[in-house]
Amino acid sequence: MEILVLSDTHMPKKAKQLPKRFIKELKDVDAIIHGEIGRL
């Protein structure tokens, strides 16, 4: 099982889209965990 963990993407204020290579990697994982710092 592959799990991708990401946070602080600053979308859409600092970046309009994720890099294409990163999007390709997202398609191959079994689960994605996205954390936002400061929101509890």
pLDDT tens sequence across 1-39: 999 888 776 777 777 788 888 888 888 899 998 887 665
**Of the candidates 10, 13, 19, which has an alpha carbon nearest to the alpha carbon of residue 38?**
10
Model pTM score:
0.56
Cα 18 to Cα 1, 8, 40, distances in angstroms: 23, 12, 24
Q: What pLDDT, on the 0 to 100 scale, is given for residue 38?
A: 64
Distance CA 38, CA 30 (A): 26
